Amino acid sequence: MSTRGRPRVALATSVDWPHLSPDDAGIAPALRHLGVDAEIATWTDATVEWSRFDAIVIRSCWDYHEDLAAWLAWLDRLDRDGAGARTHNPPSLLRWNARKTYLTELAGHGIATVPTVWLDDAELASVAHLRAALRAAGGEAEELVAKPAVSAGARGTVRLRRSQLDDDSARRQLEDVLPVWRLRGPVLVQPFLAEIADPGEWSLLFFDGHFSHAVVKRPAAGDFRVQPQHGGSTEFRQPPPDLLDAAQQVLRVALPLATGEARPALYARVDLVVVAGTPLLMELEVIEPALFLRHAPLEAGPERLARAIAARIGGK
Q: Alpha-carbon distance 200 to 185, whole Å?
A: 27
The total domain count for the chain is 3
Verify that 106 and 218 share a domain, yes or no.
yes
CATH at residue 16: 3.40.50.20
Examine residue 188 and state whether it is found in any structural domain, yes or no. Answer: yes
pLDDT tens figures, 225-238: 666 665 677 888 89
Whether residue 93 sits in one domain with residue 13: yes
Is the model's pLDDT at 315 over the cut of 70?
no
Distance CA 316, CA 314 (A): 7
pLDDT in tens, 60-87: 999 999 999 999 999 999 999 999 999 9
Give pLDDT tens digits for 87-140: 999 999 999 999 999 999 999 999 999 999 999 988 988 888 888 888 887 567
More confident residue, 143 or 138: 143
Strands (E), the chain: 8-13, 37-42, 55-60, 87-88, 117-119, 143-148, 158-161, 187-191, 201-207, 210-218, 233-236, 267-275, 278-285
pLDDT value at residue 3: 43
Q: What is the amino acid identity at position 204? A: L
Same domain, 21 and 165: no
Rama region for 297: left / alpha / beta (φ>0; ψ in -120 to 50; rest): beta
User: 112 burial class (0-12, 13-18, 19+ CB within 10 angstroms)?
Assistant: middle
Residue type at 280?
L
Structural domain harbouring 50: 8-97
Same-domain pairing of 207 and 166:
no
